[in-house]
Amino acid sequence: MTVYDLKVGQSGTIHNIDGDERLAKRLLALGCIANTEIEIKKIAPLGDPIIVNFRGLNLALRKSDAKNIYLKDSEVV
């Protein structure tokens, strides 16, 4: 399951980040690392971007980037 699969108000625990190395480095610098809880705050009408919150930070993610953030399956609420 990825961040893209979550609905507004749902949260999960990050397992790992795949895809573009530049994206991974940027998210890691912001504190978006494994075992961090991430919550969906808002999804734009056309599904892009997705506003997420982790560690008290709101961040807009492209749909393609959200598909590269994998969650621990048992941790989705």
Radius of gyration (C-alpha) of the chain in whole angstroms:
11
* Residue 43 DSSP class: E
- What's the pLDDT score for residue 74? 64
Residue bearing tokens 């980037």: 65
- Domain residue ranges of the chain, discontinuous segments joined by +: 3-75
**pTM for the whole thing?**
0.85
Instruction: Please state which CATH number belongs to domain 3-75.
Output: 2.30.30.90
25-52 pLDDT, tens digit each:
888 888 888 899 999 999 999 888 999 9
Mean pLDDT of the chain: 90
- What's the pLDDT score for residue 31? 86
Kindly state the helix (H) or strand (E) to which residue 39 belongs, with its residue range: strand 37-43
pLDDT mean over 58-64: 93
